[in-house]
Structures are given as structure tokens and as C-alpha cells.
Amino acid sequence: MRPEAVDAMLPYLSDCFANPSGGHAAAQAAKAALEEAREVVAGALGADPSEVVITAGGTEADNLAIEGAARAAAAAGRGRGVVTTAFEHKGVLAACDRLDHEGFRVNRVGVGRDGIVDLEALAEALDADTVVVSVMLVNNEVGTIQPLDEVAAVVTTKAAGAVLHTDAVQAVPWLDVAAATAHGQLVSISAHKFGGPKGTGALVARDRVPLQPLLEGGGQERGMRAGTVNVAGAVAMAAALRVTAQQRDAEVARVRTLRDRLLDGILAEVPDVFTNGDPRRKVAGNCHVGIRGVEAEALLVALDRAGVYAAAGSSCSSGAAEPSHVLAAMGLSRSDALASIRLSLGFASTEADVDRALEVLPDAVRRLRAHALAV
């Protein structure tokens, strides 16, 4: 976490621990802090504070946006069509799957090899019955920035009654999310992606978009999300967001330089490497490479032993590594997908981190390739 976020949070875990829904002075102090945090989030996302729902993270914000808007629209008799892309985060895809089971008509449109949504396919999927469209702003594996303005224009033309949701969880450190999402109604963010605490996020619901709540009870968050609000989390999220916005331009330039050095170093030192996601249209912190002849899972273990923590899009289920749904949607072959790893950089990344990765990775690849040849 960013130190500013930790500092901001601590008083709300100790002295100022009251429930913001209460009426006494301590509760009112907690409420004031919560509302101040809401204003910061609203300002950063180009919304009115009354349009910000504090959630327990990005997944909940995605679920609430998609299920909440679709069910509200269907209940009002406005339609049952839902359109998303094949390479969204599971927080979006699972919500769409649930709607599918409830009898909504769900369409998951394809993406190109460059990691950008297929706008023609999107246009074809939209019709007057469409009530919710969900397209992420930045993909969480390959880092590609989606053309949201063009998506919004297509939605306005083909499905004027639909609301546009965007999962902006991966965008906050790198983009001005208020500007990038200006034409959408629903925007999800998650604090732990920009130096805030895990388990805290927000959904912006602009233009009074009707939402059926997922959580019902005490009517908090204007009835859209019941349950005592995580004041400490919201305050810390706001602190992290404020610093992120202040430092964004400088950080994007700094991290891009680091990332480019990392990528150039890998390409220079390791033969038979390819990159995933259009390099001109991806965020500064994303380095996603495929290393032919190497199993990503084995490489991750070797890197981990040397103190370099990387990720593969693939998840291990019942012992077998499955290729990432993102890379599969982009059309990578199974073997290329299983040879791909993601090295992410952020505000805490340093020159020394890149030096270490470049010291460790080429050597690990050489050893794994030699071993593969030997067996």
C-alpha cells in the first residue's frame, strides 16, 4: 500500500471506529470522513458524490453493475440483452454467466490478436433489446487500452437504451479515468490496484441508472449496497487515489521507461520471444511476453526462487495448467498461451527490480530450455 493510504486509514481502525450510520458525535465523525472520501473518489472519476457506491472491491462493483442494471432493466420491461467481451475479468464474466442462467440473452464478443475488442462484432451484437454493455477499459493480463469512446458511440447508435459499464480496475494508475469513461454510466474501480487496501472498491453509477442491489438490509449507500460501510477502507482508497492522480503523469513516464528497458532487455537476451497485446495501445506497467519452448508455470517457479514475482494468465486446476481465457480469446495457440508470462510494474517498481529481473530471467530460460532438450 502507499504509505499515505496506510496513514490515512489508521485512525479509522482505532480512535475513530464508530459506525457512520449512527447518530452520535463519534458516528458523525466517521460519516464525515466517509463522505469526504466519497468526494475524492467522485472527483477522480468524474461523478457526483451521490453517484459513488463504496463496495468491497472490483469484483463486487462489477457484479453490482452488471447484474444490478440488467435485473432493474428487465423488471422495468426494457429488455433482456447483455453484451460483453470474451476477455473480461471473471468478475464480469461470472456475472454475465449468472444472467445467462436467469434467461438473459448474453453475447460475448471477440477480441483481436492485438488485444482490442472487435468493434464490428460488438456493433453486430447490439440491438434494441440490449440493456447492459460491459467493456473493460484496460485488460488485466495484456494491459491493452480499449477504445471506449468508440464503444460508447456504437452503443448509442445501435442500442440507445443500454447502459455502458466499464471495468476500470486496471486503468486508475495509468489513465485519467474520468475522461476515459465520460460516455459510460457505470464504472468499477478497486483500491488495491493503486496502492489502497484490498477488499475496498467503488462503483460509479452515473445518470441515476437504476440498479437492483445485490446486498439488501440496512439501506446504506442509498439502498444500492446494504451493510455497514468500510470507513477505514474508503478513507485509504481516497488517499491512494489522490496521490495516484497527483503523480500519474510523472509515474507513467517513469514506469514506461522501466518497462521498456525490461522488455528490450528480454528481447535482446532471450531468443524466440513474442509479445502479447499491441505495444502502442497498452498501459505503461504491462510487460507480457511469450517464451517459446518454456512452460510459463516452470519459469514462474524459477523466477520466484530468485525473488522475482511474476504471473501467468493461466490458472492451475486439478493439476493441469489451463491457458488463460484472455490469451485464448485473442487467438493464441494453446502452446503460445502456456508459454506466456506477465511482468507487472507499478509505483513501487525500481531500476533495481528491472536489473534483477534481467539478471535472473534469461538464465532461468536457458536452464529450462536445456532441461527440456535433455528429457
Ligand X SMILES: Cc1ncc(COP(=O)(O)O)c(C=O)c1O
* Residues catalogued as catalytic: 316
Cα separation of 190 and 167, whole Å? Answer: 9
User: Residues 258-287: x/- map of binding to ligand X (CB under 6 A)?
Assistant: ------------------------------
**Residue 58 in contact with ligand X, rule: CB under 6 A:** yes
CB of 247 to ligand X, least distance (A): 21
Binder among 57, 81, 184, 195 for ligand X (CB under 6 A)? 57
Question: 65: buried, middle or exposed (CB in 10 Å: 19+, 13-18, 0-12)?
Answer: buried
Residue numbers 62-101 binding ligand X by CB under 6 A: 62, 89, 91
Number of residues that bind ligand X (CB under 6 A): 14
Backbone angles phi, psi at 227, to 5 degrees: 120, 145
Q: Is residue 140 close enough to count as binding ligand X by CB under 6 A?
A: yes
Pairing label, strands 286-291, 130-134 = unpaired
| HSE value, Cβ hemisphere, 13 Å, CA-based, for 19 | 7
Residue 67 DSSP one-character state: I
| Window contacting ligand X (CB under 6 A); options: 52-60, 307-315, 317-325, 329-337 | 52-60
Cβ atoms 175, 137 nearer than 8 A? yes
Residue 230 found at the interface with ligand X (CB under 6 A):
no
Q: Is 181 in the site for ligand X (CB under 6 A)?
A: no
Our CB check for ligand X shows the closer of 58 and 184 to be 58
Write down how long the chain is: 375
Residue 196: CB minimum distance to ligand X, A: 10
- 130 binds ligand X per the rule CB under 6 A: no
**10, 278, 287 from 283: Cα distances, Å:** 32, 10, 9
Is the CB of 78 or the CB of 89 nearer to ligand X? 89
Binding flag, residue 190, ligand X (CB under 6 A): yes
Q: Are strands 105-109 and 130-134 parallel, antiparallel or unpaired?
A: unpaired
- Write the interaction track for ligand X spanning residues 151-180; mark x where CB under 6 A is met and - where it is not: ----------------x-xx----------
Beta-strand runs (E) in the chain:
52-55, 81-85, 105-109, 130-134, 163-167, 186-190, 201-205, 273-275, 286-291, 315-317, 320-322, 340-344
In the complex, minimum distance from the CB of residue 88 to ligand X, in angstroms, rounded to a whole number: 8
User: Contact positions toward ligand X, by CB under 6 A?
Assistant: 57-59, 62, 89, 91, 136, 140, 167, 169-170, 190, 192, 201
